[in-house]
Amino acid sequence: MQESLLLEARNRAYELVTKKYQNSGHENRLAHIYGVAKMAIMLAKRYNVNELKAEIAGLMHDYYKYETEEEMANYIADQTLVDECKKTTPLFHAYASAKACYELVIKDKEIYEAIKCHVYGKPKMTMLDKIIVISDYTEETREYRSCVLCRDVLLNIGIDSAIWYSTKCIINMLENKKIMPNKDQYEILKIYEVEMKMEMLKKIKDNIDKVKGYDVICYDMKGVSPLFDYMFIVTIDSPRQADALATYIKEDYEALGINLRAIEGKGSSWVLMDCKDIIIHIFTREEREHYSLEKLYMEMPRVEL
């Protein structure tokens, strides 16, 4: 789509939401909307998504936030969608806002779908979908503890880990209130647990680079070990570097609310970390050559990071 059309649409979206919410008694909602748009732009730059599409979706995602369910149902019109909304009522404003954006701002299917699924996402999301879902949860005016912690996960680990974390928090909140989550939320949690593990593999490699570790191998142990899915072997030059690496990794897992099973050998030439699904062996060169773990796993597939 031409950039000029998107620029016009962005300006129209700003005008619409500002006119709707300024002096409406819902000024906090306008601040939230601006915050979502701001976060969406930042994430679009990071993940190579069209910034204007992300901004438009962020601006329009809550356009129909305060209408009655009856008004939104009449506006949505599609009975199948209305029936879905009746089962999960927060979907009313998402579906109505998506339609409003499509009719009043720009006829763009990607933007429409991103707004439509922004409440909790869906099992198969585009990067634009992910950006709007997580921007809604983590923009700067969100001061709930779970939102603040999720923002740290988003900025320091990655978007897939943040979606897993936010989905887990929302499901826990609903269950504590004796409210049944939508079935898609459980599926999303399961899907993004896998994606979170992949981001953690990359983050572990980043931490290894930070302490100047080398000769890194990551084995895919799925289907072989019932206890864990991946295993790292890495060489460092001193026990001090090994302890620093273990600390960095532990902090990343704690940010996700995950407690490690064990860290053994701190201060020695072989530190073993049991991160539940990931095992990490941190050796000095002499210790690694002595035990030669690679000989035990030479037939195992490796993960390229």
Token pair listed for 59: 């601006």
| pLDDT of 298 | 87
For tokens 């887990």, name the residue: 168
Bridge partners for 302 per DSSP: 219
User: What burial class does residue 126 get, using C-beta atoms within 10 Å of its C-beta: 0-12 exposed, 13-18 middle, 19+ buried?
Assistant: middle
| pLDDT of 224 | 86
| pLDDT of 1 | 64
Global pTM value: 0.92
The dihedral built from the CA positions of residue 109, 188, 246 and 225, taken in this order, carries a sign that is negative
Query: d(Cα 235, Cα 84) in Å, to the nearest integer?
Result: 53
Tens of each residue's pLDDT in the chain, 305 residues: 688 999 999 999 999 999 999 989 998 999 999 999 999 999 999 999 999 999 999 999 999 999 999 999 999 999 999 999 999 999 999 999 999 999 999 999 999 999 999 999 999 999 999 999 999 999 999 999 999 999 999 999 999 999 999 999 999 999 999 988 988 999 999 999 999 999 999 999 999 999 999 999 999 999 888 889 999 999 999 999 999 999 999 999 999 999 999 999 999 999 999 998 999 999 999 999 999 999 989 889 999 98
Query: d(Cα 305, Cα 303) in Å, to the nearest integer?
Result: 6
